[in-house]
Amino acid sequence: EAGVAQSPRYKIIEKRQSVAFWCNPISGHATLYWYQQILGQGPKLLIQFQNNGVVDDSQLPKDRFSAERLKGVDSTLKIQPAKLEDSAVYLCASRVEGYGYTFGSGTRLTVV
Amino acid sequence: DQQVKQNSPSLSVQEGRISILNCDYTNSMFDYFLWYKKYPAEGPTFLISISSIKDKNEDGRFTVFLNKSAKHLSLHIVPSQPGDSAVYFCAASSSGSARQLTFGSGTQLTVLP
């Protein structure tokens, strides 16, 4: 079974620029999550999708972050404009009901 | 407001000895607890879990203990191996939160040969 694919692996941008991350979950996994992991902290949930609908985006900074999941499969997370404090690893995870999470390798974002 | 806390940022253990990683939680609605292991440049991988109806779950060298009254869980690794060196995250979820995971800040385990 293929895992959760994320790209790019690394990204360096200047503050106020925009950036997008892509996630391809495991086939058949209806639930998809984006987590933000700041260095020295545990992952923090940004948004949860069920198929192509948003279940919870209460912790997504909506003034600069947006996410979508087209056709209930791939998902993109965008930051515009980026701030220095957005430097983190962005993790995508997918899950099928009754089973645990599978995480991707993440995208490490550095904002300079 | 940290609902899941791992108070030890790091732990060093000699190979062959027991590693004990601790985790405390505050939200009494949590009913499912998990441990994840993370190597550098990789995503967290599931290690072991425990439901709140149990107080112990064992899988090979890994055992998780849950003390609901103290809102505390621990992960025991026996015997510890150098390949166990990684960051270990404790996570918790509740059926009422659509099974979202709340993570602790992690403990870096180093197993010395």
Determine contact: A95 vs chain B, CB below 8 A: yes
Q: Apex CA A107: angle with CA B112 and CA B30, to 5°?
A: 70
Across the interface, do B49 and A100 touch by the CB < 8 Å criterion? Answer: yes
Model confidence at A87: pLDDT above 90: yes
Interface of B with A in 47-106 (CB under 8 A): 49, 89, 91, 98-106
- Residue the block writes with tokens 């940290």: B2
In this prediction, residue A70 carries a pLDDT of 83
User: Positive or negative, the Cα torsion across B2, B5, B8, B10?
Assistant: negative
Across the interface, do B91 and A42 touch by the CB < 8 Å criterion? Answer: yes
Phi and psi, residue A45, nearest 5°: -65, 130
| CA–CA separation, A25 and A71 (whole Å) | 12
| Residue A1: band (very low, low, confident or very high) from pLDDT cuts 50, 70, 90 | low
User: Positive or negative, the Cα torsion across A59, A19, A75, B31?
Assistant: negative
Distance from CA of B103 to the nearest CA of A (A): 5
- Return per-residue pLDDT of chain B as tens, 113 residues: 789 999 999 999 999 999 999 999 999 999 999 999 999 889 999 999 999 999 999 999 999 999 999 999 999 999 999 999 999 999 999 876 667 899 999 999 999 99
Q: Which of A37, A49, A54 is nearest to A107 (CA)?
A: A37
Across the interface, do B99 and A95 touch by the CB < 8 Å criterion? Answer: yes
CA-nearest residue of chain B to A4? Answer: B43
User: Positive or negative, the Cα torsion across A25, A30, A34, A37?
Assistant: negative
Q: By the 8 A CB rule, do B36 and B106 touch?
A: no
* Strand spans (E) along chain B: 4-5, 10-14, 19-25, 32-38, 45-51, 56-59, 62-67, 72-77, 86-93, 102-103, 107-112
SS3 at position A30: coil
Distance from CA of B81 to the nearest CA of A (A): 24
In this prediction, residue B96 carries a pLDDT of 64
pLDDT of A28-71, one tens digit each?
Answer: 899 999 999 999 999 999 999 998 899 999 999 999 999 999 88
Interface of A with B in 6-25 (CB under 8 A): 9
Interface of B with A in 22-51 (CB under 8 A): 34, 36, 41-46, 49
From chain A, pick out residues whose CB is under 8 angstroms from the CB of B43.
Answer: 4, 91, 93, 103-106
Average pLDDT, chain A: 93
For residue A90, list its beta bridge partners: A36, A107
Determine contact: A98 vs chain B, CB below 8 A: no
From chain A, pick out residues whose CB is under 8 angstroms from the CB of B106.
Answer: 41-42
Distance from CA of A60 to the nearest CA of B (A): 14
